[in-house]
Amino acid sequence: MTDIQSHYLEIQGLRLHTLCAGDADNPVVLFLHGFPEASFAWDPYLQTLSDHFCVYAFDLPGYNDSDALATPQEYQIPSLLEILARFIEHIGRGKPIYLVAHDWGGALAWPLAAFYPQLIARLLILNAPHPAGFTRALRDNPRQRQQSAYIHQLVAADMPDILVASDFALLREMLFEGRLDKGFSDAQQQRYLDSWRKPGRVQGMLQYYHQMPQMPPAENDPNLHYYLEQMRIPSLRVQVPTLVLWGMQDKAFVPEVLDTLEDWVAEVDVMRVNNASHWIHHEQPDIVIEQIRRFFSP
């Protein structure tokens, strides 16, 4: 089995916990995790793909073993993109990399590809809608607003205390029970619990939601009509060649978020996977790995 190395990279004064495997001379692939995961979610990918790639994954700021950011405002998208860009410059050694991103990792990868296209050779997205498609769905689709209602739970002032007091019942339900195959072993579940229990991790992880550019309006809000009128579709144009793999049983996003994706992404293919949910990278790793090899082949 390929040895995965664990170390820290210092980027803009932050210690970012990083996993890597493979020959440094091979093309670089970076994996970005989402909520409520961590870099180790990608362990099977690092082990499998290190034969032809130099593969990296790291804990996003505020997650697991990476430093938290100093202020809530630093979790806003522009600040996070600057950190990601500097990280990629470091591991890419002057060359663009291949990027794989899921959930919140994908929410960052879309604008990263738009604003720093010189850093990314190709982009592979796993169940993370383009910001324009997501905003449009929130504005026009009541079902998307209902499916995004959990975000209001996560940004409640007492949510950190609730999560700790319940031993992270909401996160356990979201991740462990959310998989179609319920496939996490006891050891894997314990690894996630250990990462969530680390001091300050809950607050850091939740800041990503607190600092969202546009908070999803609540379907039962008496001012809903006003909020919907105020929503603006972001004009985020991506020129990087992109592949989207989408688990069609995703309970967080309606499939309509994929409609007219080509309006915002110049070169994009979408592969819909029926027997997969939001956690496609866990449920269908063979499909994801096959597509990574195909899409990132020199």
* CA–CA distance, 124 with 31 (Å, rounded to integer): 10
Q: Are 209 and 52 in contact (CB under 8 A)?
A: no
Each residue of 193-211: b (16+ CB within 10 Å) or e?
eebbeeeebbebbbbbbeb
In the numeric block, which tokens belong to residue 161? 């205390």
Q: Which amino acid is at 285?
A: P
Residue count (the chain): 298
Does 1 score more than 80 pLDDT? Answer: no
| Residue 86 exposed, middle or buried by CB count within 10 Å (0-12, 13-18, 19+) | middle
| Tens digits of residue pLDDT in 12-71 | 999 999 999 999 999 999 999 999 999 999 999 999 999 999 999 999 999 999 999 999
Q: Would the pTM count as exceeding 0.95?
A: yes
Does 2 score more than 90 pLDDT? Answer: no
Smallest CA-to-CA distance from 39 within 14, 67, 52, 20 is with 20
| Tens digits of residue pLDDT in 168-207 | 999 999 999 999 988 999 999 999 999 999 999 999 999 9
Tell me what pLDDT residue 182 has.
87
Tell me what pLDDT residue 68 has.
97
| Tens digits of residue pLDDT in 230-275 | 999 998 999 999 999 999 999 999 999 999 999 999 999 999 999 9
Q: Which CATH class is domain 5-295?
A: alpha beta
| Tens digits of residue pLDDT in 128-155 | 999 999 999 999 999 999 999 999 999 9
Q: Which amino acid is at 106?
A: G
H or E element, residue 160: helix 159-165
In the numeric block, which tokens belong to residue 270? 């979408």
Query: Average pLDDT, stretch 269-285?
Result: 98
